[in-house]
Amino acid sequence: MWLLDKMLRKLVRKGRLVITDHDGKVYDYGEAAATPLRLRLTDRGAALHIARDPRVGAGEAYMDGRMLVEPPHDIRDLVLLVMSQKEAQSAARPPSPLLRFAEKAVSRLDQWNDRRRSSRNVVRHYGLTRQFYELFLDEDRQYSMAYYRDPANTLERAQVDKKALIAAKLRLGPKPDGNPMRVLDIGGGWGGMALYLNRHFGCEVLGVSLAPDQVAFANERAEAAGVADKVQFRLTDYRDVTGSFDRILSVGMFEHVGALNFDEFFAKTRSLLADDGIMLTHTIGRQTPPGSTDKWTRKYIFPGGYIPAMSETVAAMERTGWEVSDIEVLRYHYACTLAEWYNRTVQHEAEITALYDARLYRMWQFYLAGAEQSFRHGPMVNFHIQSVRSRDAVPMTRDYITAEAARLSALDRAPEWHLSRAPRAAAE
């Protein structure tokens, strides 16, 4: 415990953290007058496991039940307490240049996403059952940032508004010859975005993904809606897509490309877009220079993933011939989204544990809590990057985006989410 004790005495300056070690000895950190957040370590090696590599060790100790957060607090409160210690963190001695180089090298190597490795990485995360995702997502299974026009809105309302905003930026409608536009949806998700575009604009949409269950479920939804001839989903790598598309959409997929493959991604998508077409890239981004993916996330959540900086994303677009026509930085929206996913996950602890086990439930808690705080107090945001082959593909001003998003938002009533819905689905 001595090493962890030494670290925490330097780190915890705000709030109060009280740890009871496996032998009953109590350690107290921070402000004596503050309400304590209490942890309990359950075995002799837990403290050392955390101290040797806190960014990985704390998550693993929590997942394995070696570190317990005592009620009325939970792991989200602990993550918030740690993330709030910004001054102490900035005053801490930074890692050596050699260590930083090694961490960056390992992270970059993990991003070598050829077709075989990309497929394996996607299945690691998105291969969890559809019943699992039903337990915490909205009715449409949007597994990406919602758009909170009002922070008090429900997740369901915010996801409807997200789809409206994306569609507005794509400038959809019949082509001059009267035929419907062809849209490529890279990633595809659970099919909700593609079906939305078809329902409101009559688009023909091809969704491509490397997640088998998502592709199967999305095709089931298209069949049930009677639009399987217009909206199709294929289990294929975007690099193997051929043809020409009037619009290209990538929502929550670019984070899985890896910095080594940015040029390949943008060169391929540009080759698929019609001369007067528009592409929208919706991605998590960092408000810092290029960096690396933390070890715990690489190991347990998004193997091969990388959160891009704006500088390296736009540089790759420049190198591959794109013109950037609009950029929007969306702050805090994902924090609100993740907070609601976390709440719904906690509400369904019993169902998630029954589907998998307590370890996966705690892993998912730790992931959502850490991600929320990265968007609320850390450097993470979302980027919307609209790009074109020809600059006259979009109007001179962006007023059309606001007007069309408002029109579309007014068309759809957000469904209500009920606790009773998800457990029934999990039992199917």
3-class secondary-structure state, position 401: helix
- Looking at the structure, do residues 35 and 131 belong to the same domain, yes or no? no
DSSP 238: G
The answer as to whether 363 is a domain residue is yes
The answer as to whether 365 is a domain residue is yes
For residue 55, give both structure tokens. Answer: 């960014």
Last residue of a domain, one of 58, 91, 124: 91
Nearest alpha carbon to residue 250 among 209, 222, 291, 292: 209
The answer as to whether 100 is a domain residue is no
- Looking at the structure, do residues 123 and 198 belong to the same domain, yes or no? yes
How many C-beta atoms lie closer than 10 Å to residue 168's C-beta? 21
- Looking at the structure, do residues 87 and 201 belong to the same domain, yes or no? no
How many C-beta atoms lie closer than 10 Å to residue 185's C-beta? 26
Give residue 76's domain range. 2-91
Sheet holding 245-251, edge to edge: 231-235, 204-209, 182-186, 245-251, 273-286, 380-388, 323-330
The answer as to whether 190 is a domain residue is yes
- Looking at the structure, do residues 236 and 348 belong to the same domain, yes or no? yes
Cα distance between residue 347 and residue 419, in whole Å: 8
> Is the distance from CB of 170 to CB of 209 less than 8 angstroms?
no
- Looking at the structure, do residues 83 and 120 belong to the same domain, yes or no? no
- Looking at the structure, do residues 223 and 148 belong to the same domain, yes or no? yes
Cα–Cα–Cα angle for 312, 190, 146, rounded to 5 degrees: 60
Q: What is the pLDDT along the chain (428 residues), one digit of tens a residue?
A: 999 999 999 999 999 999 999 999 999 999 999 999 999 999 999 999 999 999 899 999 999 999 999 999 999 999 999 998 865 454 444 555 544 544 554 455 555 555 565 556 555 555 688 999 999 999 999 999 999 999 999 999 999 999 999 999 999 999 999 999 999 999 999 999 999 999 999 999 999 999 999 999 999 999 999 999 999 999 999 999 999 999 999 999 999 999 999 999 999 999 999 999 999 999 999 999 999 888 899 889 888 889 999 999 999 999 999 999 999 999 999 999 999 999 999 999 999 999 999 999 999 999 999 999 999 999 999 999 999 999 999 999 999 999 999 999 999 887 766 544 443 333 33
- Looking at the structure, do residues 299 and 252 belong to the same domain, yes or no? yes
- Looking at the structure, do residues 87 and 179 belong to the same domain, yes or no? no
State the CATH number of the domain containing residue 65.
3.30.1050
Cα distance between residue 149 and residue 168, in whole Å: 15
Q: What pLDDT is stored for residue 124 in this prediction?
A: 56
- For residue 292, the Cα-to-chain-centroid distance in whole angstroms is 16
- Looking at the structure, do residues 231 and 376 belong to the same domain, yes or no? yes
The answer as to whether 107 is a domain residue is no
State the CATH number of the domain containing residue 189.
3.40.50.150
Cα distance between residue 191 and residue 214, in whole Å: 8
Q: What pLDDT is stored for residue 426 in this prediction?
A: 32
The answer as to whether 304 is a domain residue is yes
- Looking at the structure, do residues 31 and 168 belong to the same domain, yes or no? no
Residue 405: Cβ-neighbour burial (10 angstroms; 0-12, 13-18, 19+):
buried
Q: What pLDDT is stored for residue 128 in this prediction?
A: 81
- Looking at the structure, do residues 61 and 193 belong to the same domain, yes or no? no
The answer as to whether 97 is a domain residue is no
In the chain, the amino acid numbered 147 is: Y
- Looking at the structure, do residues 345 and 255 belong to the same domain, yes or no? yes
pLDDT tens for each residue of 329-365: 999 999 999 999 999 999 999 999 999 999 999 999 9
- Helix then strand then coil, in percent of the chain rounded to 5, is 50, 15, 35
Q: What pLDDT is stored for residue 88 in this prediction?
A: 46
Q: What are phi and psi of 136, to 5 degrees?
A: -135, -10
Nearest alpha carbon to residue 279 among 253, 322, 323, 249: 249
The answer as to whether 99 is a domain residue is no
How many domains does the structure of the chain reveal?
2
Q: Which residues pair with 330 in a beta bridge?
A: 382
